[in-house]
Structure 1
């Protein structure tokens, strides 16, 4: 599943992640069959907490084998089928974490679920460079330790 930052950037240089705006996606673990358990948090930039939606995906078959919406806050507006489509696409990227900020910048973690260390930054690049992000290619940046 793991790849290097440079491999990821080369393969996904023109990757458009706008469909993930306001959604955070992370692999929280694996089931007994090594299928990724994907946690999606919709509406991460809304004023109210929305909880999260969990799906387990068979990446070889490209299908969802388990769904869990019990962590979604009652009354929250979210579309399970849209979140499931995002989860399936997310698993194809072979990454562990994806978060899109409120201005469309993408933050990615390839190998674990800690702080993202790869980003595709479109807006406020100067701010991010003062926060330890270094440009590696085009709009792609890495976080310096």
Structure 2
């Protein structure tokens, strides 16, 4: 059985969609751990991406869903951290492929571009699709390996 805890986070642009998705997840038996924001007052999306990312990296949850106005800024932020595979999805196909081939552990959506019913369909697809593994596993591992090489070289001062 998949983990029933899902971390949620958004800025002001994704706040309304986050609230809808939180209620939807809870109605389906998930524990939605809401890292904010708590209103439509202007805030900075990196702060909320970071909170959700930390919950995944620390092992508090396996997956999370993040939202900002377009989903772009918050997904860029999340993908800066090791082990995070945030996928910006705008339909069920992208959600399915992000899990099937990329083993995404963080779903990003745009609160100003995705309607509530479409977002629910994206969430359902994303949560119900299992990672295919195989050749895709090799590629996922390569991402982490290349990042590790980069940071080791960077910290040594290599160019």
- TM-score, length basis structure 1: 0.27
The answer to which structure has the higher strand fraction is: 1
The answer to which structure has the higher helix fraction is: 2
